[in-house]
Structure 1
Amino acid sequence: MELPTDPGALAPYFDHTLLKPAATEAEIETLCREALDYNFGAVCVHGSRVEVAASFLEGAGQHLAAVVGFPLGATCPDVKAYEARACLAAGASELDVVVNLGWVKDGQWGRIGAELDLLREAADGSCLKLILETCYLTREEKIRLCQMAQGSGWDYVKTSTGFGSGGATLADVTLMRETVGGHLGVKASGGIRSLDDALAFIGAGATRIGASAGVSILQEARQRMGQGR
């Protein structure tokens, strides 16, 4: 995959993220200000912070993502659907949803498929990213979930929440890209902290990078690639 060669081409890959449970409103506003300053592709926050982020970003053309069923994925499907609709009503335009990992391990693929379809309907055309939490999955489970996300009309598959036992790996991103081809986006998230990390994941097939270290990565990019945006 062709790598961005300047900071301006790199910045839109980033979902600038703040998902710490104790994050304050002031920190959310700082997150949004940084996203605008650096021209990141999106901001990603908890559902209860969507309204304040949407208010701050109003009219800026910035994508706003909210997490759903986060970080464990074990919420009932109807609750996830309600949460999805509430986040969209508050101003989110994208949803990052954690798959039910217990159902994956039980092999309850029919229930997972029904949940994916329910959430696709609840999202009413908005961008949906399925968080696989790859650190807990076998190769076969990762492939099947990617195929199911594609079959249910989702937009992205995503590696991790950042709250599991491991984050994104190049092997997982490569596998996910090979599985979905050019049909879905692939979001690498969890433990991406340097410019070299980001470029490696993009090279492996990631089209989005979820990171809380976006500012330091872009600052590093400006030093190494030049000052352009």
Structure 2
Amino acid sequence: MIIDSHIHIPSPGWNGHTSFFSSQDAAIRYLRDAGIGGAIFTTWQGVFSKTAEDLFAANEDALKLAKTYKGFLLPGANVNPLFFEESQDWLSRFSDEGHKWVGELIIIDDAVPYASAKFMKLFEICAKHNHIVQLHQHHDIIKIAESFPDMKIVCAHIPPKEVMQKLCNLKNVWLDMSGMSGGLIIGQLELALELFGHKRLLFGTDFDGYEPRAFIARVKSVVKKKDEQEDIFKNNLIRLLA
């Protein structure tokens, strides 16, 4: 089985993002047909939330989808430092329902950096309650990982070499190979394996923007040992969630 640690589900009826898929069900069918046996997700409305109402709708939608597709979809909580109280409440609700994953979180228009006081207050809560935090690649992740050494952090996508060289020494950081600068680029997956090893690399695609089959093919072409493929495809994530 292959578990995708990084996908996004369409938010039909919300105009903040345009998806290829006309419905959430269609996106999930495509993902399954591509060979994915499970996935950690957020909705696009949550990723790009600009209001507290966006945050509410996205997190409600995520929890509903997780119940509808129980055993296949695992939700990540969306939080936004601009709406601290609401975000704190959502972290608590997700945790109460047994969901410890947070994100992928991104920085929207560089408005509130990860290392800002507002974001750091949220990370403090995440660290206290053993959340796993997935962050869009950024050099600030170094500071966050150093500030919260007991908090498990997933760096989404494969960052530039100079950032990776520092992150790989921080044992509370994992990489997912998804999307933009990720495993599809020749040399990136190879470098990630060299620096992090196959035990700290997670399979991820950034679906619904990227083709899962392409990422599967890259793992199989670069990682020759079947047991190491299995670690990347599912075992590392299962251990991280345990």
Equivalence for 2:64: 51
SS at match of 2:159: coil
SS at match of 1:168: coil
Q: Is the 8 A contact 2:155 2:173 kept in 1?
A: no
With over 3 angstroms needed to count, the CA separation of the structure-2 counterparts of 1:34 and 1:49, relative to structure 1, is farther
TM-score, normalised to structure 2, is 0.58
Q: Is the 8 A contact 1:80 1:119 kept in 2?
A: no
Equivalence for 2:194: 203
Choose from 205, 216, 236 the match for 1:218: 216
Equivalence for 1:158: 155
Q: Which runs of 5+ in 1 are unaligned?
A: 1-7, 161-166
TM-score, normalised to structure 1, is 0.60
Equivalence for 2:25: 26
Equivalence for 2:76: 66
Shift of 1:17: 0.8
Shift of 1:15: 1.4
Question: 1:216, 1:82 → 2: CA distance?
Answer: 38
Equivalence for 2:160: 169
Q: Which runs of 5+ in 2 are unaligned?
A: 11-16, 44-58, 231-242
SS at match of 1:131: strand
What do the CA deviations read for 1:54-91 (whole angstroms, capped 9, x no partner)? 422x2x4x57142523xxx5432222222333445667
Equivalence for 2:125: 118
Equivalence for 1:78: 85
Give the ranges of 4+ consecutive aligned residues of structure 1 lying more than 6 Å apart after TM superposition: 226-229
Kindly provide the amino acid, as one letter, of the partner of residue 82 in structure 2.
T
Q: Is the 8 A contact 1:130 1:149 kept in 2?
A: no
Question: 1:87, 1:22 → 2: CA distance?
Answer: 27
Equivalence for 2:175: 186
Residues matched between the structures, number: 191
Identity score, percent: 6
- RMSD of the TM alignment (CA)? 4.0
Kindly provide the amino acid, as one letter, of the partner of residue 148 in structure 2.
A
Q: Is the 8 A contact 2:135 2:154 kept in 1?
A: yes
Instruction: Work out whether 1:128 is the aligned partner of 2:132.
Output: yes
